[in-house]
C-alpha cells in the first residue's frame, strides 16, 4: 500500500468514529513525532499491538480488499505475567464495495457488533478437520441471545446494534450490504494475536508492505519503535 492510501484510510476511520460518537483513547492521537518522545510507560501499546491497523492483505487493491481497524485494548499471551488481560476490543471499518477475506481463528472467540452506519454481511462456514472450508454442513449461529442454524455460506446480515458470536474454527468474511453505506463495527474477544491466529482461506498476507510516498499521519500497530531508556 502507498502511505498516502493508509493516511486517507486513517482519516476516514477517524471521521466515522466522530460521526458515531465513538471516542478513542489518547494514544490513538499521537503523531509519529510524539511517539519518539514516549518512553516505557507506553510499552503496553507497543507489546500488545494497540492502535491503528490498515491492511490490504498484501493484495495491492485496498478499495476492493481491505480493512481499517483500531485495537483499543488487548493482552499478550506470550507475556502474560506483564499483560494479564484475557480479552481484547477493536473497532473495524469497512467501506461499501470493500471485502475482508475469509478466515478463522484457532484461539480466540469474538463477538462482532454493528456500531453504526450501514449493514454488514458476514458469510459463515464451518471448517473440516484438515482446516478446509466445510461447504456442506449447516452452521450454528449465535446472534444477540438467539441460536439458530443457517446453510453453509449464508451471509448473516447485521443492522446497527446487532451482533454475531464467531466461534473458533468458524470461517467468516465481511462485506457491506450494497446501498447501505460504510459500517463501523465493534469487536469484543479473547486476546488478539494477528501474527499467529488468522487462518485465511485462500491464503493472503496480514500486514501491508508500505510504499512511502508521503509522511505518515499515524503509526500503525506494527510500526512502533522500542522505547529509549531503562524499562519500568
Residue-wise pLDDT tens digits, 85-117: 999 999 999 999 999 999 999 999 999 999 999
Percentage of the chain beyond pLDDT 70 is 99
Quickly tell me which residue has 464495495 as its cell: 97
Quickly tell me which residue has 450454528 as its cell: 140
Q: How far apart are CA 164 and CA 167, in angstroms?
A: 10
Beta-carbon contacts of residue 174 (< 8 Å; ≥ 6 apart): 67, 92, 94, 99, 100, 120, 121, 122, 185
Query: Is the pLDDT at 232 greater than 90, yes or no?
Result: no
By DSSP bridging, strand 87-94 and strand 99-104 are unpaired
Fold of 3-200: Jelly Rolls (2.60.120)
Residue 50 has what pLDDT? 98
Quickly tell me which residue has 500500500 as its cell: 1
Q: How far apart are CA 206 and CA 200, in angstroms?
A: 9
CA nearest neighbour of 182 among 40, 27, 20, 38: 20
Angle at 58 between CA 185 and CA 213, to 5 degrees: 95
- Higher-pLDDT residue of 229 and 103 is 103
Rounded mean pLDDT, 34-59: 96
Q: What is the mean pLDDT of the chain?
A: 96
User: pLDDT digit string (tens) for 135-176?
Assistant: 999 999 999 999 999 999 999 999 999 999 999 999 999 999
User: pLDDT digit string (tens) for 200-222?
Assistant: 999 999 899 999 999 999 999 99
Angle at 105 between CA 99 and CA 106, to 5 degrees: 160
Query: Is the pLDDT at 229 greater than 90, yes or no?
Result: no
pLDDT band at 228 (very low <50, low <70, confident <90, very high): confident
Q: How far apart are CA 208 and CA 211, in angstroms?
A: 9
- The number of beta carbons lying within 10 Å of the beta carbon of residue 153 is 14
Amino acid at each position: 500500500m502507498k502511505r498516502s492510501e493508509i493516511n486517507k484510510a486513517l482519516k476516514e476511520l477517524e471521521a466515522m468514529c466522530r460521526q458515531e460518537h465513538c471516542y478513542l483513547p489518547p494514544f490513538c492521537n499521537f503523531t509519529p513525532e510524539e511517539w519518539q518522545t514516549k518512553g516505557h510507560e507506553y510499552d503496553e501499546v507497543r507489546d500488545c499491538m494497540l492502535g491503528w491497523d490498515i491492511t490490504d492483505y498484501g493484495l495491492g487493491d485496498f478499495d476492493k480488499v481491505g480493512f481499517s481497524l483500531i485495537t483499543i485494548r488487548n493482552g499478550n499471551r506470550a507475556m502474560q505475567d506483564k499483560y494479564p488481560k484475557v480479552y481484547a476490543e477493536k473497532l473495524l471499518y469497512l467501506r461499501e464495495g470493500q471485502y475482508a477475506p475469509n478466515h478463522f481463528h484457532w484461539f480466540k472467540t469474538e463477538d462482532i457488533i454493528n456500531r453504526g452506519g450501514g449493514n454488514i454481511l458476514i458469510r459463515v462456514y464451518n471448517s473440516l478437520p484438515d482446516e478446509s472450508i466445510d461447504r456442506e454442513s449447516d452452521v450454528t449461529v449465535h446472534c444477540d441471545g438467539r441460536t439458530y442454524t443457517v446453510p453453509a455460506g449464508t451471509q448473516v446480515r447485521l443492522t446497527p446494534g446487532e451482533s454475531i458470536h464467531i466461534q473458533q474454527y468458524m470461517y467468516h468474511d465481511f462485506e457491506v450490504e450494497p446501498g447501505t453505506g460504510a459500517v463501523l463495527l465493534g469487536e469484543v474477544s479473547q486476546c488478539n494475536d494477528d501474527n499467529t491466529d488468522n487462518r485465511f482461506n485462500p491464503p493472503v498476507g496480514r500486514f501491508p508492505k508500505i510504499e512511502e510516498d508521503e509522511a505518515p499521519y499515524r503509526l500503525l500497530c506494527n510500526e512502533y519503535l522500542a522505547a529509549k531508556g531503562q524499562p519500568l
